[in-house]
Amino acid sequence: MNTIDESGPGRWSRRGFLGLGAAVGGGMLLSACGGGSASGAGQLKFWDMPWGQANYTAAAKKLTEAYTPANSLPAATYQGIQWANFSQTFSSAIASKTGPAVSTGGGFQAFQFADQGAIAYADNVIEQFRKDGTLDDFLPGQLDAMKTSKGYAAVPWQLDFRVWWYRKSLLDAAGLKVPTTWDELLTACRTLAGRKVFGFGTGAGAGNNLGSQGLHLMMLNNGGGLFDPDGKVDVVTEANLEAMRFVQELVRAKAVDPASISYTTDNLITQWKNKKVAMGIHTAGLDTDTGETDGDLQVMSPLTGPSGAKAGLVFQNNIMMYADTPSQEGSEAFLSYYIRSMKTLWQQNVVAGLPVLKSIVALPEFQAQKQKAKIIAEWVPVAKTFAAQSPTLFGGLAAVDSSQPVTQFAQTVLAGQDPKPALETLQKALEAIVK
């Protein structure tokens, strides 16, 4: 379930969340949490989000309850936390010391809580992985983004990608080959426009972040991004300007539906289903979202930009540990167990995200999903995080992804307006957000 709706995992799997510094009022009843402190119950509380269809939670709960701790370490309990209002759920629980010892959550959540001193760093887990060989099982580069100046804020467990898709039947009908460069993309879009088909399917309406994320991917594809190597906002660059001017050319070529600036995720999926869109940037689960199994929707290979660069946009969903725990050694042991045992979730095909471990990628159950397997094979090697060009993630990212300035920027560019003042406006807005 890779949607981008406000209440679904696609919106929140990538994001951290806002307002962690302000605890919710002490009288608030957390129906999702239960009572008792993380350090008082004698068991590790593992909080998890619904990362797939309804059967995901049951499978993750079974995996958690199968944990058999050694050396008198505490056992683990499982608690499902819904995406709706999850930011208040976590922030209030952490402030009142009734939160989890270990959890999944928003993609930037660990970094926000780390800034507040609420995270237990995962260096011991990483070192154990180094000793037992698990570290070598991680896909290249996936741990790097978790490392901060104080240590590893979390451990990645699944990946959420933005990639180019195409509908084979529409390209075939137009006599087109699958584009491999930006120039070929523009040429194909012009041909498709003559057939009243859109070549850059996107949306920037309420709850739909694919428009802004698609533009971000185009920046990365040209060697740009939103941040410099030091994590400072760096939007107005020649690379970004060139990328957005190319998007402006796509708009002029009628590759973008003029109504897309108001499209929700459901609107966009409907356009794909109705074969109004031949190409576009989407999550790894587009074919699942449309309910198609005939192979007509396929993932492109990464495009080569004007500078010769290739890039994908990846959000690394992770598991984090908290300073408030009945046993730090117990938290580390459970996290280690979960990472090494989570392959069952992919064997049962209950998790929407892409695996971060090579051994899971190699499973026949995953390889049978040909488009997702292609993303791992071709997009992972060129993937960049939301923080690029910074080598690591940081807490301020949560206030940027899906923010109003980013959405307004996407709507402006996708409407075909001059991208330079739009980039300048975005620069100022993000500088005010990321202190």
11-35 tens-digit pLDDT = 334 344 333 433 333 333 233 333 3
Helix 404-414 / helix 419-433 crossing angle, nearest 10 deg: 180
Give yes or no for a contact between 214 and 281, defined as CB atoms under 8 angstroms apart.
yes
Q: Does position 400 have pLDDT exceeding 70, yes or no?
A: yes
CB 372 within 8 A of CB 366: yes
Express each pLDDT in 40-78 by its tens digit.
447 999 999 999 878 999 999 999 999 999 989 999 999
What is the assigned CATH class of domain 161-314+383-433? alpha beta
Mean pLDDT of the chain: 90
Distance of CA 227 to the CA centre of its chain: 17
Please give the Cα distance from 210 to 223 (Å, whole number). Answer: 20
Element spanning 347, H or E: helix 343-347
Same CATH fold assignment for domains 39-159+315-381 and 161-314+383-433:
yes
3-state class (DSSP) for residue 299: strand
Count the residues in the chain: 435
Q: Tell me the one-letter amino acid at 58.
A: A
pLDDT (0 to 100) of residue 85: 83
Specify the pLDDT at position 83: 87
- pTM score of the predicted model: 0.90
Q: 350 Cβ partners below 8 Å, 6+ apart?
A: 52, 53, 55, 56, 59, 60
Please state the domain extents for the chain.
Answer: 39-159+315-381, 161-314+383-433
pLDDT digits (tens, 9 = 90+) for 79-110: 999 988 888 899 999 999 999 999 999 999 99
State the Cα–Cα distance between residues 386 and 139, nearest whole angstrom.
Answer: 18
Burial 382-398 (b: 16+ CB within 10 A, else e): ebbbbbbbbeebbbbbb
* Residues paired with 384 in a beta bridge: 313
> How far is residue 47's CA from residue 34's CA, in Å, rounded to a whole number?
11
Give the class (CATH, top level) of 39-159+315-381. alpha beta
Assigned token pair, 287: 């074919």
In what helix (H) or strand (E) does residue 317 lie, and over which residues does it extend? Answer: strand 312-322
